[in-house]
Amino acid sequence: MRKITAGLFISLDGVIENPQDWHFPYFNDEMGAAVDAQLGQADTVLLGRETYDGFAGAWPERETAGGADAGMAKALGDARKIVVTHQDPQFTWRNSEALHGDLIEAVTALKNEPGGDIAMSGSVSVVRQLLAAGLLDELHLFVHPIVLNTGARLFGEGETLPLGLISAQPFKTGVVHVVYGPDAETRTGGYEEAKANLPQDK
Protein backbone atom coordinates (compact mmCIF):
# COMPACT_ATOMS: atom_id res chain seq x y z
CA MET A 1 0.00 0.00 0.00
CA ARG A 2 1.25 3.49 -0.85
CA LYS A 3 2.19 5.91 1.91
CA ILE A 4 0.61 9.36 2.18
CA THR A 5 2.64 12.16 3.77
CA ALA A 6 1.64 15.77 4.43
CA GLY A 7 3.96 18.71 5.09
CA LEU A 8 2.94 21.94 6.82
CA PHE A 9 4.75 25.04 8.07
CA ILE A 10 3.35 25.93 11.49
CA SER A 11 3.99 28.52 14.19
CA LEU A 12 4.41 27.81 17.90
CA ASP A 13 0.78 28.79 18.47
CA GLY A 14 -0.47 26.45 15.76
CA VAL A 15 -1.02 28.93 12.92
CA ILE A 16 -0.67 27.55 9.39
CA GLU A 17 -2.23 30.46 7.46
CA ASN A 18 -0.17 32.44 4.92
CA PRO A 19 3.22 30.86 5.70
CA GLN A 20 4.73 32.87 2.85
CA ASP A 21 4.42 35.91 5.13
CA TRP A 22 6.52 34.51 8.01
CA HIS A 23 8.42 31.31 7.32
CA PHE A 24 11.01 32.30 4.68
CA PRO A 25 13.50 33.80 7.18
CA TYR A 26 13.76 30.31 8.68
CA PHE A 27 14.22 28.42 5.40
CA ASN A 28 17.74 26.98 5.28
CA ASP A 29 19.50 24.02 3.69
CA GLU A 30 18.22 21.65 6.39
CA MET A 31 14.61 22.58 5.71
CA GLY A 32 15.20 22.45 1.97
CA ALA A 33 16.46 18.86 2.24
CA ALA A 34 13.54 17.84 4.46
CA VAL A 35 10.95 19.42 2.14
CA ASP A 36 12.55 17.72 -0.86
CA ALA A 37 12.50 14.35 0.88
CA GLN A 38 8.83 14.70 1.82
CA LEU A 39 7.47 16.46 -1.29
CA GLY A 40 10.04 16.55 -4.07
CA GLN A 41 10.65 12.80 -4.21
CA ALA A 42 7.00 11.72 -4.44
CA ASP A 43 5.62 10.58 -7.79
CA THR A 44 2.08 11.72 -6.89
CA VAL A 45 1.01 14.96 -5.21
CA LEU A 46 -2.45 15.36 -3.66
CA LEU A 47 -3.59 18.97 -3.25
CA GLY A 48 -6.64 20.96 -2.26
CA ARG A 49 -7.87 23.36 -4.91
CA GLU A 50 -6.62 26.53 -3.21
CA THR A 51 -3.13 25.11 -2.66
CA TYR A 52 -3.05 23.76 -6.21
CA ASP A 53 -3.95 27.15 -7.68
CA GLY A 54 -1.13 28.75 -5.70
CA PHE A 55 1.36 26.12 -6.85
CA ALA A 56 0.21 26.26 -10.48
CA GLY A 57 0.55 30.04 -10.45
CA ALA A 58 4.18 29.89 -9.36
CA TRP A 59 6.06 26.65 -10.00
CA PRO A 60 5.76 26.42 -13.83
CA GLU A 61 7.31 29.89 -14.14
CA ARG A 62 10.07 28.92 -11.73
CA GLU A 63 10.86 25.85 -13.82
CA THR A 64 11.05 27.96 -16.98
CA ALA A 65 13.22 30.59 -15.26
CA GLY A 66 15.85 27.96 -14.49
CA GLY A 67 16.85 29.40 -11.12
CA ALA A 68 18.02 27.68 -7.97
CA ASP A 69 14.54 26.24 -7.39
CA ALA A 70 14.13 24.89 -10.95
CA GLY A 71 14.90 21.33 -9.82
CA MET A 72 12.04 21.31 -7.33
CA ALA A 73 9.81 23.01 -9.89
CA LYS A 74 10.54 20.31 -12.47
CA ALA A 75 9.94 17.53 -9.93
CA LEU A 76 6.54 18.99 -9.09
CA GLY A 77 5.74 19.47 -12.75
CA ASP A 78 6.66 15.89 -13.60
CA ALA A 79 4.68 14.43 -10.69
CA ARG A 80 1.10 13.32 -11.10
CA LYS A 81 -0.98 16.04 -9.45
CA ILE A 82 -4.42 15.13 -8.14
CA VAL A 83 -6.63 18.03 -7.11
CA VAL A 84 -9.47 17.80 -4.60
CA THR A 85 -12.20 19.99 -6.09
CA HIS A 86 -15.96 19.98 -6.57
CA GLN A 87 -15.57 21.67 -9.96
CA ASP A 88 -14.30 20.40 -13.30
CA PRO A 89 -11.47 22.83 -14.04
CA GLN A 90 -9.33 23.03 -17.15
CA PHE A 91 -5.80 22.51 -15.87
CA THR A 92 -2.85 24.19 -17.57
CA TRP A 93 -0.08 22.67 -15.43
CA ARG A 94 1.00 19.35 -16.91
CA ASN A 95 0.08 16.03 -15.31
CA SER A 96 -2.84 17.55 -13.38
CA GLU A 97 -6.23 15.90 -12.87
CA ALA A 98 -9.25 16.23 -10.59
CA LEU A 99 -10.07 13.72 -7.87
CA HIS A 100 -13.51 12.33 -8.60
CA GLY A 101 -16.05 11.01 -6.12
CA ASP A 102 -16.03 10.85 -2.34
CA LEU A 103 -12.70 12.00 -0.87
CA ILE A 104 -12.18 9.12 1.53
CA GLU A 105 -13.20 6.45 -0.96
CA ALA A 106 -11.10 7.98 -3.74
CA VAL A 107 -7.99 8.36 -1.58
CA THR A 108 -8.38 4.82 -0.26
CA ALA A 109 -8.42 3.57 -3.84
CA LEU A 110 -5.42 5.78 -4.65
CA LYS A 111 -3.43 4.27 -1.78
CA ASN A 112 -4.12 0.79 -3.15
CA GLU A 113 -2.84 1.64 -6.63
CA PRO A 114 0.75 0.71 -7.56
CA GLY A 115 3.26 3.51 -7.26
CA GLY A 116 5.45 5.46 -4.86
CA ASP A 117 4.62 7.83 -2.03
CA ILE A 118 1.76 10.31 -2.26
CA ALA A 119 2.75 13.72 -0.89
CA MET A 120 0.69 16.67 0.28
CA SER A 121 1.65 20.26 1.02
CA GLY A 122 -0.70 22.72 2.68
CA SER A 123 -4.26 21.67 1.82
CA VAL A 124 -5.26 21.82 5.49
CA SER A 125 -8.91 20.80 5.07
CA VAL A 126 -7.88 17.67 3.18
CA VAL A 127 -5.18 16.88 5.76
CA ARG A 128 -7.72 17.08 8.60
CA GLN A 129 -10.14 14.75 6.82
CA LEU A 130 -7.47 12.17 5.98
CA LEU A 131 -6.12 12.25 9.53
CA ALA A 132 -9.60 11.68 10.94
CA ALA A 133 -10.13 8.78 8.53
CA GLY A 134 -6.78 7.17 9.41
CA LEU A 135 -5.48 7.52 5.85
CA LEU A 136 -2.53 9.86 6.54
CA ASP A 137 0.64 7.92 7.33
CA GLU A 138 2.96 10.81 8.19
CA LEU A 139 2.26 14.38 9.28
CA HIS A 140 5.40 16.50 8.82
CA LEU A 141 5.20 19.68 10.89
CA PHE A 142 7.91 22.33 10.52
CA VAL A 143 7.42 24.11 13.85
CA HIS A 144 8.75 27.68 13.62
CA PRO A 145 9.94 29.59 16.71
CA ILE A 146 7.46 32.39 16.23
CA VAL A 147 4.12 33.25 17.87
CA LEU A 148 1.74 34.92 15.41
CA ASN A 149 -1.33 35.42 17.61
CA THR A 150 -3.58 35.54 14.55
CA GLY A 151 -4.54 33.34 11.62
CA ALA A 152 -6.12 29.96 10.94
CA ARG A 153 -4.75 27.09 12.99
CA LEU A 154 -4.15 23.49 12.03
CA PHE A 155 -6.68 22.14 14.53
CA GLY A 156 -9.79 23.63 16.09
CA GLU A 157 -12.41 22.00 18.25
CA GLY A 158 -13.32 18.42 17.51
CA GLU A 159 -12.66 14.85 18.51
CA THR A 160 -9.44 13.85 20.24
CA LEU A 161 -6.87 12.45 17.82
CA PRO A 162 -3.90 10.67 19.42
CA LEU A 163 -0.75 10.60 17.30
CA GLY A 164 2.57 8.81 17.65
CA LEU A 165 5.95 10.51 17.24
CA ILE A 166 7.99 9.08 14.38
CA SER A 167 10.93 11.49 14.44
CA ALA A 168 12.05 14.95 15.56
CA GLN A 169 14.92 17.01 14.17
CA PRO A 170 15.90 20.53 15.27
CA PHE A 171 17.36 22.88 12.65
CA LYS A 172 19.97 25.57 13.22
CA THR A 173 17.28 28.25 12.73
CA GLY A 174 15.28 26.99 15.71
CA VAL A 175 12.71 25.24 13.53
CA VAL A 176 11.91 21.70 14.67
CA HIS A 177 10.85 19.16 12.05
CA VAL A 178 8.53 16.70 13.79
CA VAL A 179 6.88 13.76 12.08
CA TYR A 180 3.78 12.15 13.55
CA GLY A 181 1.79 9.13 12.47
CA PRO A 182 -1.16 7.13 13.80
CA ASP A 183 -0.65 6.10 17.43
CA ALA A 184 -0.45 2.32 17.53
CA GLU A 185 -0.72 2.27 21.34
CA THR A 186 -3.95 2.67 23.28
CA ARG A 187 -3.05 5.02 26.14
CA THR A 188 -4.84 5.00 29.48
CA GLY A 189 -4.11 6.23 32.99
CA GLY A 190 -4.29 9.29 35.20
CA TYR A 191 -2.30 11.02 37.89
CA GLU A 192 -2.09 7.93 40.09
CA GLU A 193 -0.22 6.11 37.35
CA ALA A 194 1.81 9.13 36.29
CA LYS A 195 3.15 9.99 39.77
CA ALA A 196 5.12 6.76 39.84
CA ASN A 197 7.45 8.40 37.32
CA LEU A 198 8.25 11.38 39.56
CA PRO A 199 11.65 11.46 41.33
CA GLN A 200 11.28 9.60 44.60
CA ASP A 201 14.20 11.07 46.60
CA LYS A 202 12.69 14.46 47.51
Task: Give per-residue pLDDT as tens, 147-200.
Answer: 999 999 999 887 788 999 999 999 999 999 999 999 877 788 899 889 889 888
Average pLDDT rounded to a whole number, residues 114-122? 94
Q: How far is CA 187 from CA 56, 141, 179, 193, in A?
A: 42, 23, 19, 12
In this predicted structure, the answer to whether residue 67 has a pLDDT above a threshold of 90 is yes
Confidence label for 103 from pLDDT (cuts 50, 70 and 90): very high
Burial bucket for residue 156 (CB in 10 Å: 0-12, 13-18, 19+) = exposed
Confidence label for 202 from pLDDT (cuts 50, 70 and 90): low
Task: Give per-residue pLDDT as tens, 36-45.
Answer: 999 999 999 9
The closest alpha carbon to 5, from 50, 38, 51, belongs to: 38
Residue 186 lies in a domain: yes
**The pLDDT of residue 188:** 85
Residue 71 lies in a domain: yes
Report the number of distinct structural domains present in the chain: 1
**Bridge partner residues of 82 (DSSP):** 46, 97
Contact 74, 63 (CB under 8 A): yes
Residue 114 lies in a domain: yes
Residue 202 lies in a domain: no
Domain range for 26: 4-197
The CATH number of residue 155's host domain is 3.40.430.10
